Amino acid sequence: MDIGFLYSTFLTLMAALPTTLALFALSVFIGGLLALLVVWMRVSGNPVLSAFAKVYIFVFRGSPLLIQMFLIFYGLAQFSIVRHSFLWPYLREPFDCAVLSLALCTAGYSAEIFRGGIRAVSAKEIEAAKAIGMSGFLLVRRILAPIAFRHALPAYSTEVVLMMKSTALASLVTVWEVTGVAQRLISQTYRTMEVFLCAAVIYLVLNFILLQAFALLEYALSRHRRAPSFATVDAAKTA
């Protein structure tokens, strides 16, 4: 083992970490907001909105993310209307295209995950909310969304971990994130094993932190499901 080489590789890859994290954070954030919009359309009861949401979810779940990314980065530039639009300064940037395609894709998956959470909310708890005079956004904000989010959290944490790994695809549209830099290092050094191992460890550590955070969140949000003794101890602590 060449510790010195591993160390310098690690430092080089870490320099690309901010790019990976930015890709990840932006696409999860934008994709999450988009997912809320899509799931709202999906369960709205309006047949046109619902059909649009179904098609959206099918297209983005049914085709490879890599192809979606290529279509946005290489494909859109073929249309002069795109090249002359106000969006062109963004759509010619590899980073912006990668965020866009990651966000669009995760929105499709997340919308379905959120819909599953909504379906799991007991109709009785909704009726109780209506019976005290709640409706519309207030009912969603106070009752429906908090319960649905708790149901959706385990599946959503998996989706977020997948997104962390999917940022590696951005290297194929020339974004210099961790995987892209690793490939560049390999083409210069031909030391595939060490470099990719280093990259894999970085992703593992990131996802370990992410999963711990989700586990903590899930723990904090599921006090009502644990044995009463734990709940009263927790309640006594916060009281």
Partner 1 sequence: MSDALPLSVRNIRKSFGRHEVLKGISLDARQGDVISLLGASGSGKSTFLRCINLLEIANGGEIWVDGEQVRWHHKAGRTRVDSQKQIDRIRSNLGMVFQSFNLWSHMTILENVIEGPVHVLKRPKADCRAEAETLLEKVGIADKRNAYPAHLSGGQQQRAAIARALAMKPKVMLFDEPTSALDPELVGDVLRVMRALAEDGMTMLVVTHEMGFARTVSNRVVFMKEGLIDSSGTPDEMFGGAASPAFHQFIGHFER
Residues contributing to the site for partner 1 (CB under 8 A): 122, 124-125, 127-136, 138, 142-143, 146-147, 150, 221, 223-225, 228, 231-232, 235-236, 239
Is residue 233 packed enough to be buried (19+ CB in 10 Å), middle (13-18) or exposed (0-12)?
exposed
Residue type, 203: Y
CB nearer to partner 1: pick between 22 and 129:
129
CB nearer to partner 1: pick between 2 and 125:
125
Minimum CB separation of residue 28 from partner 1 in Å reads 24
**Cα angle 15, 19, 23; round to 5:** 160
CB 203 within 8 A of CB 165: yes
SS3 at position 135: coil
73: which 2 tokens?
A: 């980065």
CB nearer to partner 1: pick between 3 and 131:
131
Angle at which helices 94-119 and 145-166 cross, to 10°? 150
SS3 at position 43: coil
Minimum CB separation of residue 230 from partner 1 in Å reads 10
Minimum CB separation of residue 134 from partner 1 in Å reads 6
CB nearer to partner 1: pick between 81 and 131:
131
CB nearer to partner 1: pick between 78 and 238:
238
List all residues 6 or more positions away from 115 whose beta carbon is below 8 Å from its beta carbon. 39, 42, 43
Minimum CB separation of residue 128 from partner 1 in Å reads 4
CB nearer to partner 1: pick between 30 and 126:
126
Minimum CB separation of residue 233 from partner 1 in Å reads 11
201: which 2 tokens?
A: 């460890």
Angle at which helices 47-62 and 94-119 cross, to 10°? 120
End-to-end Cα distance, the chain: 54
Minimum CB separation of residue 38 from partner 1 in Å reads 24
